[in-house]
C-alpha cells in the first residue's frame, strides 16, 4: 500500500462523503423541522441535476444561472410537497409511518417521471473549475472535486450560521423543538415547516448538481443517494443537520479506506460493521446530545 493510494482513497472518501453529507443534511433538516423521514431526499438531487442539465443544454442558459435554476427547482419541489401533501396530512394528524409511505411513493413517482419525460440516458455536467487535475504524490485530484469539497463545507457552515444567527433559522428550530410553544410566541409553525422542506430540497439539489460532473445523473440515482444520505444522517444524529455532515464524511472515509485496507469485496461489510459499532457506542449519533444544540 503506497502513500499515494492512501491519499487517493482519503480524497475519494471525502468527496463522496460531502455528497452523502449534503443529502443527509437535507434529510435531517426536514426530519428536524417536520418529523418526516424523507425517503425522496435523493430525488431532490436528481431534480436539481436534471434541471441544471436541461437549462444548460436545451435552454442554453449560462452555467451559473443553470446551477441556480437547478437549486431553485429543488427548493420549489420541496415547498410544493409540503404545501400539497404534508400540510394536509399533518392537519389530519397523520402518523410518522404515513409520512414515510408518502415520501416513498413520491420517490417512485418522481423517478418514473424522469424516466418518462427525460428518458433512460445518463447526463453529465461540465466540471466546475474545468477538466484540470491536481497531482499530490501521484494521487490525482480533480479540480471539480476540490470545488465540491469547498462548496460542501461552505454550505455546512452557512447552514450552521442560518440556524444560529438568523431569525428565520431560530424560528425554525423553535417550531421543531416545541411547536405549541413556538406558536404562542407568534411563530407561524406551518410556514416554518414549509421552509424546512425548501431547505431540504435546496441541499439535496445542490448535492445532485455538484456530483453530476463526476458521475452521470439518471432516473435511478435518487435511491442510492437517499440510502447513503440516510446512513449519514443517522450516523451523525438524525435531528442534527450538522451531524449529518460529520456522518457523511465518516461514511465516505470508512468506505474508501475499507477498500484499500481490506478488500473491495468486503467494503460494505466493513463499512457497515463500523457504523453498527458507532451506533452501539454512540446511540445518539457521533455528535450526540451536544449536537442537538448545534443543529
Partner 1 sequence: MSLSKIARFATALAGLTALAVGAQAQTPAAGEPIKIGAIVSATGAGAGLGIPERNGLLLAEKDINAKGGIKGRPIKMIIEDDASNPDTALSKANELIFGQKVVALLGPSLTASTVAVGGVTHANKVPQIAFTGIGPAVERERKCVAHVLPPQRLNAQALLEYAKSIRATKVGVLHDAGYGNVVMAELRPLADKYGVKLVAVEKFEIGATDTTTQAAKVKAAQPEAVFVIATSATPFRNVKQIQITQPVIAAIGSSSYEYVNAMGTAADNIAIPEFVVGEDPLPHQKAFVDLYKQAYNSTPKNYEAAAWDAAHIIASALNKAGADATNEKLCEAMKAPYSGVLANYDFSADDMTGIPIGSFVFSKLVGGKYTRTPFRVSQ
- For partner 1, the binding residues (CB under 8 A) are 1-2, 4-5, 8-9, 12-13, 15-16, 19, 120-124, 133, 139-140, 142, 211, 214-216, 218, 220-221, 224-225, 228, 255-256, 259-260, 264-265, 267-268
* Minimum gap (Å) between residue 92 Cβ and partner 1: 34
For residues 152 and 210, the answer to whether their CB atoms sit within 8 Å is: yes
How many helices, marked H, and strands, marked E, lie in the chain?
Answer: 13, 2
* Whole-number Å distance between alpha carbons of 5 and 2: 5
* Minimum gap (Å) between residue 142 Cβ and partner 1: 6
Residue 124 or residue 153: which is nearer to partner 1 going by CB?
Answer: 124
Residue 98 or residue 109: which is nearer to partner 1 going by CB?
Answer: 109
* Whole-number Å distance between alpha carbons of 185 and 168: 14
* Minimum gap (Å) between residue 123 Cβ and partner 1: 8
DSSP structural state of residue 83:
I
Measure Cα distances from 68 to 94, 199, 228 in Å. 34, 14, 25
List of residues 6+ apart from 158 with CB closer than 8 A: none
Pick from 277, 286, 273, 235: which is nearest to 20 by CA? 235
Residue 86 or residue 114: which is nearer to partner 1 going by CB?
Answer: 114
* Minimum gap (Å) between residue 43 Cβ and partner 1: 15
Residue 136 or residue 177: which is nearer to partner 1 going by CB?
Answer: 136
* Minimum gap (Å) between residue 24 Cβ and partner 1: 14
CA 72 to chain centre: 15
Residue 82 or residue 255: which is nearer to partner 1 going by CB?
Answer: 255
Amino acid at each position: 500500500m503506497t502513500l499515494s493510494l492512501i491519499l487517493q482513497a482519503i480524497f475519494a472518501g471525502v468527496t463522496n462523503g460531502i455528497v452523502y453529507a449534503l443529502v443527509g443534511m437535507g434529510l435531517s433538516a426536514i426530519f428536524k423541522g417536520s418529523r418526516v423521514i424523507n425517503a425522496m431526499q435523493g430525488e431532490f438531487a436528481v431534480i436539481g441535476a436534471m434541471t441544471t442539465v436541461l437549462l444548460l443544454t436545451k435552454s442554453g442558459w449560462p452555467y451559473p444561472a443553470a446551477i441556480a435554476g437547478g437549486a431553485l427547482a429543488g427548493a420549489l419541489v420541496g415547498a410544493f410537497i409540503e404545501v400539497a401533501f404534508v400540510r394536509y396530512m399533518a392537519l389530519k394528524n397523520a402518523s410518522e409511518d404515513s409520512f414515510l409511505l408518502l415520501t416513498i411513493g413520491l420517490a417512485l413517482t418522481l423517478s418514473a417521471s424522469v424516466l418518462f419525460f427525460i428518458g433512460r440516458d445518463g447526463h453529465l455536467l461540465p466540471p466546475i473549475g474545468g477538466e484540470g487535475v491536481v497531482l499530490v504524490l501521484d494521487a490525482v485530484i480533480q479540480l471539480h472535486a476540490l470545488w465540491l469539497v469547498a462548496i460542501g463545507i461552505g454550505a455546512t457552515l452557512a447552514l450552521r450560521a442560518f440556524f444560529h444567527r438568523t431569525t428565520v433559522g431560530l424560528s425554525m428550530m423553535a417550531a421543531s423543538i416545541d411547536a405549541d410553544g413556538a406558536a404562542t410566541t407568534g411563530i407561524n409553525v406551518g410556514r416554518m415547516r414549509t421552509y424546512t422542506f425548501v431547505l431540504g430540497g435546496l441541499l439535496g439539489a445542490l448535492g445532485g448538481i455538484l456530483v453530476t460532473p463526476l458521475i452521470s445523473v439518471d432516473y435511478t440515482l435518487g435511491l442510492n443517494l437517499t440510502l447513503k444520505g440516510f446512513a449519514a444522517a443517522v450516523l451523525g444524529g438524525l435531528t442534527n443537520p450538522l451531524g449529518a455532515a460529520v456522518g457523511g464524511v465518516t461514511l465516505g472515509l470508512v468506505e474508501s479506506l475499507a477498500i484499500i485496507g481490506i478488500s473491495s469485496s468486503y467494503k460494505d461489510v466493513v463499512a457497515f460493521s463500523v457504523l453498527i459499532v458507532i451506533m452501539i457506542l454512540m446511540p445518539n449519533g457521533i455528535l450526540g446530545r451536544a449536537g442537538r444544540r448545534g443543529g
